[in-house]
Amino acid sequence: MIDAAGVSIVVKAPIANVYKRWLAFEDYPKFITAIKRVRKLDANHFVASLGFNGKQYDTTLELMLCVPERRLAWRTLADHHAPDHFAAGVVSFAALSDQSTCVTLKLTSSFGGAVSSRVDKYLHNFKSLVEGQGDR
């Protein structure tokens, strides 16, 4: 079953800082609790170790769209170990002021679980991570 959700949150930081922080893929486990580890393969491909429903999955993520300070889109690539698992996401950034950015995350997943509550939690974790840093 495919589950989808979209959630927005306001982060009190300039859009450049917010976008840069989202591009730090190695930091994803700090705010996306399902991701345990991320390893960069090349500019557009990453391997993510995920933990769902008591099981561990490794999946390859492909960055499909990158519009600086505006939008990122990614998807999982087909995996012979888990061919029925699929996820895709889009994150958008909109400057509300010099020190405030609206972040919208849309996620589609077949991994199961309440995607909408997870997306909301991930965005709140991201907001805490960005606002808690001292380099603004």
Alpha-carbon distance of 39 to 56, in angstroms, equals 15
User: Which structure tokens are listed for 130?
Assistant: 């960005």
User: Which structure tokens are listed for 50?
Assistant: 């995920």
pLDDT of 135 > 60? The answer is no
Q: Is 73 helix (H, G, I), strand (E, B) or coil?
A: strand
Higher pLDDT, 8 or 133: 8
pLDDT (tens digit per residue) in 14-73: 999 999 999 998 899 999 888 899 999 999 999 988 887 788 888 899 999 999 999 999
3-132: what fold?
Answer: Alpha-D-Glucose-1,6-Bisphosphate; Chain A, domain 4 (3.30.530)
Mean pLDDT of 3-20: 90
How many angstroms separate the Cα of 77 from the Cα of each of 10, 56, 63?
30, 17, 10
Q: What residue segments make up the domains of the chain, in order of their start?
A: 3-132
pLDDT given for residue 117 in this prediction: 73
pLDDT of 82 > 60? The answer is no
For 42, other C-beta atoms within 10 Å of its C-beta total 7
Beta strands in the chain (DSSP E): 3-11, 35-42, 45-52, 55-67, 71-76, 87-97, 100-109
